[in-house]
Amino acid sequence: MKRNNTLLKKIVILFLCLVFPLIIVWFFTLQYSNQILRKQVLSSIDSNNTTYISHLNNSLYTIYGSGFTLVRQSNLQTFANGLSGLSTYQRSVQINLLREELSSAALSLPFCQSAHVFFENQKVMYNSDGYQLGSFTTITEEESGTLKEISQETGVFHYYQNPLTGQDELACCLMPFSNASYGLIFVLSVNDLDSYMKNNISYENEHYLFTIGTQFSLSNMDSSMEDELRDMSKQFSGSKGSFPCEVITLDGAEYYAFVYEMPDISFQYIRLIPTTDIISAASMTPLLHLLFLLLISIACIVFFVEIYRLVHRPLVQLINAFREVEKGNFKVQIENLNSPDFAYLYHAFNEMTKKLSQLIEKDYTQKLLLQKAELKQLQAQINPHFLYNSFFMLQRMIQTENMEDAQNIANALGLYFRYLTRNSMDHVPLAEEYEHAKNYAYIQGLRFAGRIRIDFEQLPDGFESIVVPKLILQPILENAFNYGLANKIKDGICQVCFYPSGDLLRIDIEDNGEELTDQKLRQLTQNLMKVREPGSDLEMSGILNIQRRLIIFSNTHDSLHVSRSSLGGLKVSITLDKKIKGDLTNETADR
């Protein structure tokens, strides 16, 4: 039976079962570590943003707190009442003190560009140092009303157009109470706020949006993106969940959106960082993933090539050698002894085949010699009484001057003797065995003329060259004449019939003798069973002789059977097979 070498398959499957889970674990571990690292980076960014925005928020609250303190001072109420009762010098001193206080506040407060106090009744506005319109400015009633209206609006910071300069300004406008006649204005530096926002940029493609109220905004993105982000910002909640940011898609790109709101001051800060930039230096890029998988693939290929070279190929060589032994080739040798791992097995196999070849050759030769000696011994046991009776019959024919029959019987006996004296012939073609049996039947027919009728069918075509053991038909005919028909005075019948079937040919030899009892038939069947194995102590003559020789020739026990004939006597059936080949070398040499 051909068996497939499954060792390589098992190694491959085992390797894959070990490597694939490791790759999967590595992949998920990498993903998990990237997620953890990403969360840590995002949390760090959020913490930095919180600190940064808290500083801005504190600065703006400082401006508001300082303005609220300053606007409630009593001297401003005195200024509002027109400084009545003070001399010109005293009024100048108070105005200078107020301007110094405004200038000091503008310099000390973060993001404060200038400080102003306007008085509605006096139609004047005092300014901190460095203001473009001077230390004080006369304002009209309309300008005074505009400033007062802005200061009374809800909210801390206002973005408006300065009625004096016509420029847009972001300022903290305060009044001590709603009906006050004066107010304080701290103008914020937009450039300083913009620089502060840009200082928080850490990634190349990140964006920000800083808004106060609905009118003022600072951003480093184009107007279309800013408008789109403003629309999105409406859905952002002021309170953050467990994750410090949200993922949004803006202008076809994904961003982490960090949103911070200060409702009291009414400002909102949104920082957008591209998702591809987060932990880009720490995470494995697709190229590194591909390189890693390529290295694993190369390692697997090298592993399988080495397994094939070191294990599979030597095993295949050993298996092929064993298959040659199964076919009967015991001289096969494994020449390649270079594999150190299999050198011992190869050497042991070569030694085994050498010893097997020697033992089998010795045993096989001895068996052939024994079988041949046994065959010669069996052939020598052919009954010689037929020859004596034939010579006596020939003598009587000569005495009665029956020359024609005497000549025929002499010719038949010559052929008979020549066939028997070929001692070197162990096997013959079935045609020659058939002619010899027919010649024997002719001689017996002359001897028992008037008593026994012999029916001999023609040998079927295609079976003439079948090789059979010598003398397998004539002894059965002789057994019929000597035992089955010996007491027949008349109407004796002996017939030989052929039944071809494919490569098989069955030969039935039967008679109508009356000497065969059921007990004799059973005894004969038992004796035939005994002689199937060598070493039987039964006398190997007649049918037993033929049974033994057929077993030696065909190596099968199913070549000869006996039964009761439909004629009443014994029927012997011999089955021959075309596929069983014999040796005709000796016969050809004799000829």
Spatial distance between the Cα atoms of 41 and 418, rounded to a whole number of angstroms? 114
Spatial distance between the Cα atoms of 47 and 39, rounded to a whole number of angstroms? 12
pLDDT digit string (tens) for 314-373? 878 888 888 888 887 777 888 776 667 677 787 888 888 888 877 776 665 556 555 555
pLDDT of residue 3 exceeding 60:
no
Q: Tokens 């004629």 belong to which residue?
A: 567
pLDDT over 90, % of the chain? 19
pLDDT digit string (tens) for 179-188? 888 889 999 9
Give one DSSP letter per residue of 29-52, joined into a string: HHHHHHHHHHHHHHHHHHHHHHHH
Burial class (CB in 10 A: 0-12, 13-18, 19+), 382: middle
Q: Band of the pLDDT at 195, cuts 50, 70, 90?
A: very high
pLDDT of the residue at 192: 93
Average pLDDT over residues 393-414: 86
pLDDT of residue 591 exceeding 60:
no
User: Mean pLDDT for the chain?
Assistant: 81
pLDDT of the residue at 282: 53
CATH 3.30.565.10 applies to domain 380-590: yes
pLDDT of residue 504 exceeding 60:
yes
pLDDT over 70, % of the chain? 85
Q: What is the dihedral of CA 15, 18, 23, 25, to 10 degrees?
A: 180
Alpha helices, DSSP H, located in 457-500: 474-479
Nearest alpha-carbon partner for 378 in 415, 412, 426: 426
pLDDT of residue 56 exceeding 60:
yes
pLDDT of residue 2 exceeding 50:
no
pLDDT digit string (tens) for 141-171? 888 888 888 888 888 888 888 888 888 999 9
CA 476 to chain centre: 69
pLDDT digit string (tens) for 20-36? 787 788 777 777 777 78
pLDDT of residue 382 exceeding 70:
no
pLDDT of the residue at 164: 86
pLDDT of the residue at 194: 92
pLDDT of the residue at 196: 93
pLDDT of the residue at 588: 40
Per-residue burial over 203-217, b if 16 or more Cβ lie within 10 Å, else e, is beebbbbbbbbeebe
The pair of structure tokens assigned to 478 is: 């002789």
Spatial distance between the Cα atoms of 171 and 197, rounded to a whole number of angstroms? 18
Q: Positive or negative CA dihedral for 537, 542, 544, 548? A: positive
Task: Check residues 343 and 403 and name the one with the higher pLDDT.
Answer: 403
Alpha helices, DSSP H, located in 131-220: 141-151, 190-198
Spatial distance between the Cα atoms of 46 and 50, rounded to a whole number of angstroms? 6
Question: What's the pTM?
Answer: 0.49
Burial class (CB in 10 A: 0-12, 13-18, 19+), 63: buried
What is the rounded end-to-end Cα distance, in angstroms, of the chain?
44
Q: Tokens 């028992």 belong to which residue?
A: 448
Domain parsing of the chain, residue ranges: 286-372, 380-590
pLDDT of the residue at 582: 67
Q: Band of the pLDDT at 73, cuts 50, 70, 90?
A: confident
DSSP letter, residue 538: S
Selection from 27-41, 95-109, 304-318 with the highest mean pLDDT: 95-109
Average pLDDT over residues 205-209: 91
Q: Are 151 and 111 in contact (CB under 8 A)?
A: no
3-class DSSP state for residue 553?
A: helix
pLDDT of the residue at 541: 63
pLDDT digit string (tens) for 511-550? 998 888 999 999 999 888 887 776 565 655 678 888 888 8
Spatial distance between the Cα atoms of 395 and 229, rounded to a whole number of angstroms? 141
pLDDT of the residue at 369: 53
Average pLDDT over residues 413-440: 83
